[in-house]
Chain A
C-alpha cells in the first residue's frame, strides 16, 4: 500500500511525550508519534509493551499521566463528556477479541454506533448494518445470530463491520490477526486494506504479527520501553540496521531486547 496524501500540514493524530504508568509499572515513557491523514501506521512491539495503552489513551479510555494528544490539531487530553464523545465519533476501533456486545444480535452490534450516538432509526440502521456486513463478506443470515454463535474469524469480521459502520475518519486495529489461523489472518488483513482504502480513512494498528504489519502498513513504528525507537516506511524495515527492529522482525530470542520472564 502507498499513502494517498502525506502533504497535509497538521497530522491527523499527533502524540507528544505521552507517559502512562500503572502503579510502579511505567508503560509509556514520553512516546512521540505522528499519523498523517490517509496514512496507515502500524505500531509493532512485544507483548506488554503498552501498545494497547497507546490506543486507549488516544480514545480517552485511559487518562495519560502526562503528554499531549492532538486529533486534527485539537488537544484531546483532558476532554470530558460530550466534548470527548464528539472526538470519539471520528474513530472506529476493532478490538483484539472483537469485544462484541453478547447481549445483542450481530446486526445491533454493527448498528450500535448509528442507533445510540447518531440517533439513526432502528429500521434504517438495520439496513445499513446489512450493507456493512456484506462489505466484510458476511451473509445476511448472520445478522440475527448472537456473537456467541460465531467463529473467531466471523467475530473479527463483525467487529470490523462495527468499527466502520459510522464511516469514521480514523480506524484503530488492535491485534487484528490474533487468534486466527494464518489464512484467515491474511483474509482479515486484505479486508482491512480494502476497507480503509474505500473509506479513505486514517488507520493506526498495533500488532506483533509481522506478516500483518507488512500487509496493512504504509509506515511501521516500533515501540520499545515506552518509546518509539524506530519508524520508517514499510519497505525499509528489512534494510534497517537497528538491532532492536532486526531482532523483532526476525523473531530471535537473542539480541538487545530482553523479554521479562516475570512481570510485576
Chain B
C-alpha cells in the first residue's frame, strides 16, 4: 500500500519539475541557481536512495563546468551551507560527521580566492536568484564532495592553479575514502577523473598510479562499478601515455571491465583496448574495438577530439588489415582536416607505390608522431609492396622480375625474387616463379564460388545477428527506463499494454519527457570527452 501512496507524491514532484523546466527554458538558470538545485537533487537522491537524481546532476556537469568562475562557486558554497554552521553545528548521530560538516564550508572556501566580498555577492544574488528559503540543515557529505568537484574543475581551467588543484584532489580523495558512503559512488567516479586530470596537468601522471591501483582494488571489492570503470580507464590512459603497453595489457587481462559501466567509460575502454591490440599486431580485435568506440562515441560535433583520434587509429588499422578505408570517412567535415596526412597514406597504399609512401611518411612524420601512430604506419611498408605485387599479378599473365623491380622501386632483382616468393607463399597472389627464365607466371584467379564464400557470408550474417540482438537488448533497457520514468502514465491506465492503445495524449507528454531525457543523456555524455580531446 505504501507503494501506491508514494506514487502520487512523486507524480506531483515530477510535474513541478517539468513545469520548472519549461519555465526555465527561455532563459537558462544562473550557474548559482543550477548548483543549488543540483545540491537539492543530491539531497533527494541520498534521502530516497535513488541514484537516478544523482545521475541527472552529473549529466549537467559538462555544461555547468564551462560557466563556473570564482564568484559563482563562492556564492554557491555560501548559499548551500547554512550561515550558522560554525556556531551551531547540528547534532548528528556520528561524531565524525559533525566534524566533517562544520569544517566543510571553511575548507571549501579556503580553495577559492577571497576576491569577492560577501556583501557584494549577496546583492547580486538577490537580483539573480529567486529568493529561496534559507537552508536550515547541514547538507549531506555528497553535496560537499560535489562542490569540491566543481571547484576542482574550476581550478583545472588555468595554469596557475594546477598546484592547488592537485592538493585539493588529494584531500578530496582522502575524504571520500574516509566517508565510505555507497551513495557517493557516482560522484566519486567523476572525482577520480578530475583527480587524474589534476595529476596530468599539475605533475607527473605516473605518480598517481599507486593511488589509482589501490583505489581500483577497493572499488572492485566494494562492487562499485562506476568508480571501477573510471579507474581502469585512467590507469590505461596513464600506461599508454608512457607507452607501457605490456603493463596495460596485463591490467586488461587481470581486470574485468564492469558490464554496467556508463557509455562514455565503455567508449574510452574500447579505444584504449583498440590501441593495445593494434600494437600487438592483433588487428582484427583492434578494429572491432575501435568500431565499437566509434559507435558509442558522442556526436562528432560535440567531441571532435575523440572522434578524430579514434578515426585516425581506425584508418591505420584498416590499412594494416589490408582493407582500404571508405572515401566518405575523409570527407566528413569534422575529420577532413585532421585526417589529411592519413588520406595521403591511404592513396599511397592503394597505388602500391613505395616511393610515394616513403615521401608521404617523411612529409607527415611530425603529425604521425604526435598522434602516436608513426610506428604503426611504418609497418604498412610491407602492405604497400603486397598491394603493388597484387596489382601486377592481376594485370600481367607473365612479367619479368626485372620489371617488377623497376615498377615497385625495389633495390635489386634478387630482392624481387624473394619478395614475390614470399607473396606467393602467403597467398597474396597465385603464381609461379620460373627461375631459369627470370620471370613470374601468374596463375588464374580462383573461382569465386568456394567454401570461403560461405565462410564470409557466415561472418557477415553473424555480425548482423549480433547487432540485432544487441539493439534488442538496448531497446529493452530503454523501455524499462521509460516505464520507470513514466510510471505515472502507467498508473492511470493500470496496464502498460492498455496504455499504449488508450492514452495517446498521455503518452505524448511522456514521449516529450523521454525526448528531453535522451537529449540530456546525449549532452551529459560528452562531459569529459572534450577535455580529453586535445591531448590525443
Q: Do A and B bind each other?
A: no
**Chain B: residues with CB nearer than 8 A to chain A?**
none
Chain A residues at the B interface, C-beta cutoff of 8 Å = none
